[in-house]
Amino acid sequence: MKVLVLNGPNLNMLGRREPGIYGRATLDQIEEKVLELAGRLGAEVVFFQSNHEGDLVDRIHGADGTFDAVILNPGAFAHYSIAIRDAVASVSVPVVEVHISNVHAREDFRRRLVIAPVTAGVITGLGMDGYLLGLRAVVELVRKRAGE
């Protein structure tokens, strides 16, 4: 099973960026943890981070047929990128959306989730664990689909 973990804008700044909101773990540390769990779950994981909306769209397209699932933390794009929404809707690979912070508890504009309606599900507020739970979620999703 191959899983693509896509991280959007500013997530390269994790650890340095507003640690009161996002915690002190860096993206590298998160990837390490994800890899470790992936090993235990028998999944292969590829990571990609970009601050460019178009790159994320390209990668989502590229995941179709080459990955079994996508874990997507769209960062700020979650709130306005209809282009990424359409990209997710245009592929058949299942996507689970993850947010480190509890977006429901922050500025009003962060309550608008434009990509979420076309994902399989959303995990918010659980910090770095969100990625691990997301990995478990997609592994389960793929297994269920395969079992049908």
Q: How far apart are the first and last CA of the chain?
A: 16
DSSP label at residue 94: -
> Please, which residues have CB within 8 angstroms of residue 7's CB and are 6 or more apart in sequence?
27, 47, 48, 49, 50, 73, 75
Active-site residue flag, 104: no
Q: Of 52, 61, 99, 131, which one is the catalytic site residue?
A: 99
Minimum CB–partner distance for residue 44 and a second copy (Å) = 21
Is the Cα dihedral 11, 17, 77, 89 positive or negative?
positive
Active-site residue flag, 61: no
Pair 8, 71: CB distance under 8 Å: no
Minimum CB–partner distance for residue 99 and a second copy (Å) = 9
Minimum CB–partner distance for residue 147 and a second copy (Å) = 14
Residue 32 or 52 with smaller CB distance to a second copy: 52
Q: Which helix (H) or strand (E) holds 56?
A: helix 53-63
User: Which parts of this chain interact with a second copy (CB under 8 A)?
Assistant: 8-10, 12-13, 16-18, 50-55, 57-58, 61, 64, 75-77, 79-83, 85-87, 89-91, 96, 102, 104-105, 109, 111, 113-114, 116-126, 129-130, 132-133, 136-137, 140-141
Residue 1 or 89 with smaller CB distance to a second copy: 89
Catalytic positions, please? 22, 99
